[in-house]
Amino acid sequence: MNQQELNPGNFKRISLINWLLSVPFFVLFSWPYLYVADFFHIEKLITYLGCIFFSVPFMITILHGHVTMALGEAHRHHYYDWLAEHPLTFGLLFHPVMMRTRFRLILLVVSLLIFITGFLLKLL
């Protein structure tokens, strides 16, 4: 890989594309949770909270794949290091733990626990 692909201009482009893709992916991955929770008549506040925890792991996985396709597996850590160096601009809402599979699975399990809690509260 040449140095042109590892420059801040390319990192800014990748970051901008990821920010633009995050909202459509969030909506795309949250609607199944929303429909299932609506089917079970779970309270809206609990449903929306669960939607957040349900869709974020899938969204992060797709955006992580976008970075991997743009830079390659061997060089994506340069992009994540660059994000960590710019926490108040491009790296806003970024933390290195977000790329860990364990973190994404924990978010998914939390969303399912929220769903179960909402279902049990509906029964009471």
Average pLDDT score over residue span 57-72: 92
Domain that holds residue 61: 3-123
Residues ≥6 apart with Cβ < 8 Å to 68: 76
Residue type, position 104, single letter: R
Matching residue, tokens 């364990």: 102
Q: How does pLDDT run across 24-55, given as a tens digit for each residue?
A: 999 999 999 999 999 999 999 999 999 999 99
By the 10 Å C-beta count (0-12 exposed, 13-18 middle, 19+ buried), 24 is classed as exposed
Q: What is the mean pLDDT of the chain?
A: 91
Number of domains in the chain: 1
pLDDT at 26: 95
pTM to 2 decimal places: 0.87
Q: How confident is the model at residue 3 (pLDDT cuts 50, 70, 90)?
A: low
What are the strands, taking DSSP E only, across the chain?
none
Percent of the chain with pLDDT over 90: 69
Average pLDDT score over residue span 68-89: 89
